[in-house]
Amino acid sequence: MTDLHDHQVQSSDVVYEGRIISVRKDVVSMPGDTTSQRDVVVHPGAVGVVALDDRGRVLLVQQYRHPVRRRLDELPAGLLDVDGEPGLAAAKRELAEEAGLGADTWHVLVDALTSPGMTDEAIRLYLARDVHEVHRNVQEHEEAEMTTLWQPLDVLVGRVMAGEVENAMACLGVLAAEHAVRTGFADLRPADAPWPSRKTR
């Protein structure tokens, strides 16, 4: 195993800055007195919500994703793009905005680094139970064309395994929720559990 000191950043330059992401070119020292260029997609991070109702159903939203040119079944989710906003507050906001729902019981479901070979994006998925409708403002932009669908959790697990649900956050959330239900929610973390991988802005 190499030591972290073998991977010191020798230089770092932002080569692209977009609306949400930027791309950074790092030159990193490597074992054996060499260096290597690493291109890093800098991402603010995101949260997602598995909303589970008392009938064992999970709420999906469907929206168009331009990079893959398709509408995908996904979980309510959003970027951590509000300065200082806690992850749980962001999750509650997204659930209300995208689905018109609130929930009385919240837990951390799972944390993940989406693709650590190329991006620093960290995501956190919450499990929301005891869900209920809440008032929401008129939907705009991509939310205006979202549709919603409740599906039984076991059906969704089958759809994930069959390759019918491809969004990574949805796959991860559905499979983690199935584990949580099967184990009686015994090993879930509190909703405000530390999140070491989240960057502060």
Copy the structure tokens of residue 74.
């996904």
Q: Helical H runs in the chain?
A: 87-99, 153-161, 168-182
48-103: per-residue pLDDT in tens?
A: 999 999 999 999 999 999 999 999 999 999 999 888 899 999 999 999 999 999 99
Residue 7: the pLDDT is: 84
The arrangement of secondary structure in 46-190, i.e. its CATH architecture, is: Alpha-Beta Complex (3.90)
Residues carrying an active site annotation: 143
Q: DSSP label at 137?
A: P
Average pLDDT of the chain, as a whole number: 93
Copy the structure tokens of residue 26.
């790092």
Which pTM was predicted? 0.91
Largest Cα–Cα distance of the chain, in whole Å?
60
For the chain, where do the domains classified as CATH 3.90.79.10 start and end?
46-190
Residue 84: the pLDDT is: 87
94-144: per-residue pLDDT in tens?
A: 999 999 999 999 999 999 999 999 999 999 999 999 999 998 776 565 666
